Structure 1
Amino acid sequence: MTISVLIVDDEELIRVGLRAIIDAQPDLTVVGEATDGAEVPPMVARWRPDVVLMDVRMPAIDGIQATRHLLATSAEPPRILVVTTFENDEYVYQALRAGAHGFLLKRARPAEVVDAIRVVARGESLLFPAAVRRLVAAHQRGPASDRLQRARLTEREGEVLRLMATGLSNSEIAAELVLGVETVKTHVGNLLAKLGARDRTQAVIAAYEAGFVVPATDG
């Protein structure tokens, strides 16, 4: 199956570079390019891309606003991968909280770009545990412990959430906890519902903000 991609960036050089990387892959194709967030909704409606590479800093409608709009108005929104210059950018943090499924640095190597697109297209979130923790530490708005307390996660759901925060996939979590993959999927679905989180990224951010996950190192 071919993964369709929409590139959104106000810098032509970035768009050209990303298109060259993507179109060189047999399973990826660029269906369109946008220079501002305002252009995204009609292009998504027209092309139905699987993944949107979304720049966060654009002159009129930025990537955060575009992400919120897509997720709020699309019945089947595309997967959104934020493209940024700095991993500790305030915009990145806000985009992840808005529902973006991960972020990618503009200096990423071609192989990393391709892998990131495939990961989010599979329905997974592209998490960098140390980077997410630094984002939360730099931009945290206040304690989120009440949210975790109200969620009343079971002990097993808490274990799954902590492992999610380390970047493990469902199959890796299943191996770690000696559970079936479908059982892990059920636990993930339950904890997302309890936290009111759209996806794994939002759940992990909530866990860091609440101090529920506090890794000892930046590894």
Structure 2
Amino acid sequence: MTRTRIHNLSMSLDGFATGVGQAPDAPFGHAGHRLHEWMIATRFGAPIVGREGGTAGVDNAFAQQHEPGIGAEIMGAGKFGPPGWQDDADWRGWWGPNPPFHTPTFVLTHRPRSPIEMAGGTTFHFLDASPAEALDVAREAAAGQDVRIGGGPTVARDFIAAGLVDHVHLVQVPIVLGRGVRLWDGLEALEADYDIEAVSTPSGVTHLTFTRS
């Protein structure tokens, strides 16, 4: 059965999963890469930023679960590009000609455009749809594999609030951002629907996994 999964969604101690001031040269706004330094240091994450090597410990074990069994991804407009990308006909995402998704990828936006086929198996499709409607489309495209909700935090929160997510992997990073977009708002009593495990690692982060009861 197709599951809906969230992986490697990093947040600060005060619950922010992205900062303010998102721009073409600042995908996470004032947060920079501080939320993701734990992942960049791993064998899974190092190639994403053009590095070699990386650690092979617990952080890497969690990070690499991002990919196996995924047949489609859903992401929000803010993950695909900075404010105003809909007005730039040449904008094709942050990731260059070969994005790291390698599946059909559905971008939620109130201003859909024609699909963009990229190298490596990624095709971006643009939907103006509710979470449930988008998930139906993505499940069909996933052809029996799982669907990943790729973020940002607003999209993750909307899908969790709608009861559509089976597995959530969050990473609490020991920084305080003070401002940005919070994940937890409106998710009161989330713990009642999931079995929760927490694992702290030498890097200082805590991996929180929520598996639907």
Is TM > 0.5 for Structure 1 vs Structure 2? no
Q: Under a length normalisation based on structure 2, what TM-score does the superposition of the two structures give?
A: 0.32
Higher strand content, 1 or 2 = 2
The answer to which structure has the higher helix fraction is 1
Q: Who wins on radius of gyration, i.e. which is larger?
A: 1
TM-score (norm 1): 0.31
Tell me which of the two structures has the higher relative contact order, counting C-alpha pairs closer than 8 angstroms and 6 or more residues apart. 2
